[in-house]
Amino acid sequence: MTDIQVLKGHIIYTKEKDAFEVHENSYIVIKEGTVRGIHDTLPEVYRYVPVMDYGNALIIPSFIDLHIHAPQYMQMGVGLNLGLIDWLNQYTFKNEAKFEDVAYAKKVYPRFVDALYQNGTLRSCIFATIHKESTRELVKALENKRLSAYVGKVNMNQNAPDELLETTEESIRETMGFIEAIGDSEYVKPIITPRFAPSCTSDLMHQLGQLSHDRSIPIQTHLAETKREIDWVMSLFPDSKNYSHVYKDHQLYGDQKSLMAHTIYLSEDELEMAKNDNIFLVHCPNSNLNLTSGIMPVTTCIDKGLQVGMGSDVGAGHKIGMHHTITSAIQCSKMRHVLNPEERILKESEAFYLATKMNGRFFGKVGSFEEGYLFDALIVKDPDDLIEELTPLERLQRFLYCGGPDSIIGRYLEGCSI
């Protein structure tokens, strides 16, 4: 029974979006990194397995971030008085150009990865910059910390300062080089990452779409984040029916698993497209508030049966911890509800479900503690012992709104303590 582990504590997760599953003082049995079952008394067959007893701590699925920019780590909170396009031009592109220097990447990326680890984000989908060698430093930092991620070398060949532009040929060559360099890394996989339509010519997007198709590599980009951006995209690509079609017309939408960040302003046609093409819409509420982008109609999208995940979108988002994204999504849905009472509020269980089980779908069977799921987990214990005045579910609520790294006392990825 050496491949069996048993952990004890207050186990909480979301099998369905509408309710938390709460198992107080229970045992979770894990075999070869995969959940086998949850029991309130430990079955006889496991009597010789040592129990890892976490006492009064919570055992919850670890967090997954479906949209985050690693190079923007040092830029979090800076220049957020601007809207998206001005923020990109005045701060972000200048900051990202610094990653031409691999020595700079070696300083920033381990700090970024440590912040993911500290905040309990054990899997993520990450934008790097256009620079292949610096992006490899990000991969190394993730591997060193044993965090799972999809990492994209960003593609940009127009509408940015010269120092952040590639030729089409360079962009494809370096992307292929990056994919080769990752090889069969145990922790990190490549993802095709055209920054957003304004940054890429039609020729570049066609070639990226082909590459994604030929190698079965997923795609991540931005879609319909602000009105000004949408007008710009439609003027750059007048032959496409709408913004979503700009990507679809280049095989960058739905041919492979596709993450579309923001999606605040999708038309009815585009919502239908997203549903038919199994697109992951990634809600990034903190970023949307900070850049005055708008608020995604998240419950409307969920109720239409769309796949909705969540991202911190650091650095336009100012907090790495996904518990901040969860609570911000709830707050944002409340404000939409105030302005339009027909739109319902996102429940707590639902927001938690998005950041764990829904986001986990992008990685496979992760984000839940149902049988057959990989055991990715956080052990959560508020440092203040008065916390025991609260029920386990109330403690989780308090952690989501007020907690942070100080409350995370253990981390498991696929059954391994990391």
Q: CB nearer to ligand GUN: give 242 or 397.
A: 242
Of the residues 8, 123, 136, 222, which one makes contact with ligand GUN according to CB under 6 A: 222
Contacts of 200 (CB under 8 A, 6+ apart): 155, 156, 157, 158, 194, 208
Q: How far is the CB of 289 from ligand GUN (least distance, A)?
A: 12
Q: Compute CA distances 172 → 44, 98, 293, 302, whole Å.
A: 57, 21, 31, 36
Answer with the entry of ligand GUN, Fe ion, none that 195 interacts with (C-beta below 5 to 8 A by kind): ligand GUN
Rounded Cα distance, 165 and 174, in Å: 13
Rounded Cα distance, 416 and 393, in Å: 25
Q: CB nearer to ligand GUN: give 5 or 92.
A: 92
Per-residue contact string for residues 27-66; x = within reach of ligand GUN by CB under 6 A: ----------------------------------------
Residue 380 interacts with ligand GUN (CB under 6 A)? no
Dig out the tokens for 180 from the structure: 């080769």
Answer with the entry of ligand GUN, Fe ion, none that 92 interacts with (C-beta below 5 to 8 A by kind): ligand GUN
Dig out the tokens for 217 from the structure: 């590599």
Q: How far is the CB of 196 from ligand GUN (least distance, A)?
A: 4
- Side chain identity at residue 396, one-letter code: L
Q: Compute CA distances 342 → 18, 270, 297, 336, whole Å.
A: 19, 21, 11, 9
Of the residues 8, 23, 69, 153, which one makes contact with ligand GUN according to CB under 6 A: 69
Residue 313 interacts with ligand GUN (CB under 6 A)? yes
- Side chain identity at residue 291, one-letter code: L
Contacts of 351 (CB under 8 A, 6+ apart): 310, 326, 327, 329, 330
Answer with the entry of Fe ion, ligand GUN, none that 225 interacts with (C-beta below 5 to 8 A by kind): ligand GUN
User: Read out DSSP for 126-164?
Assistant: EE--S-HHHHHHHHHHHHHHT-EEEEE-EE--SSS-GGG
Contacts of 334 (CB under 8 A, 6+ apart): 345
Q: CB nearer to ligand GUN: give 65 or 313.
A: 313
Dig out the tokens for 348 from the structure: 């707590």
Residue 287 interacts with ligand GUN (CB under 6 A)? yes
Residue 337, classed as helix, strand or coil, is helix
Stretch in the footprint of ligand GUN (CB under 6 A) among 84-92, 101-109, 118-126, 351-359: 84-92
Q: CB nearer to ligand GUN: give 195 or 250.
A: 195
Q: CB nearer to ligand GUN: give 196 or 399.
A: 196
User: With contacts defined by CB under 6 A, how many residues of the chain interact with ligand GUN?
Assistant: 11
Element (H, E) at 173: helix 168-182
Of the residues 313, 343, 348, 350, which one makes contact with Fe ion according to CB under 5 A: 313
Q: Please, which of residues 381-400 interact with ligand GUN by CB under 6 A? A: none
Of the residues 65, 166, 174, 225, which one makes contact with ligand GUN according to CB under 6 A: 225
Rounded Cα distance, 189 and 126, in Å: 10
Of the residues 20, 150, 196, 373, which one makes contact with ligand GUN according to CB under 6 A: 196
Q: How far is the CB of 313 from ligand GUN (least distance, A)?
A: 5
Residue 195 interacts with ligand GUN (CB under 6 A)? yes
Q: CB nearer to ligand GUN: give 37 or 83.
A: 83
Rounded Cα distance, 49 and 278, in Å: 42
Q: Compute CA distances 119 → 6, 404, 405, whole Å.
A: 24, 6, 5
Per-residue contact string for residues 150-189; x = within reach of ligand GUN by CB under 6 A: ----------------------------------------
How many Å is the Cα radius of gyration of the chain?
Answer: 21
Of the residues 14, 92, 155, 220, which one makes contact with ligand GUN according to CB under 6 A: 92
* Strand extents, DSSP E, 168-218: 188-190, 193-194
Q: CB nearer to Fe ion: give 68 or 377.
A: 68
Residue 32 and residue 416 in contact, taking contact as beta carbons nearer than 8 Å: no
Answer with the entry of Fe ion, ligand GUN, none that 121 interacts with (C-beta below 5 to 8 A by kind): none
Q: CB nearer to Fe ion: give 313 or 382.
A: 313
Query: By the criterion CB under 5 A, which residues form the site for Fe ion?
Result: 313
Write out the residues near ligand GUN by the rule CB under 6 A.
69, 84, 88, 92, 195-196, 222, 225, 287, 313, 316
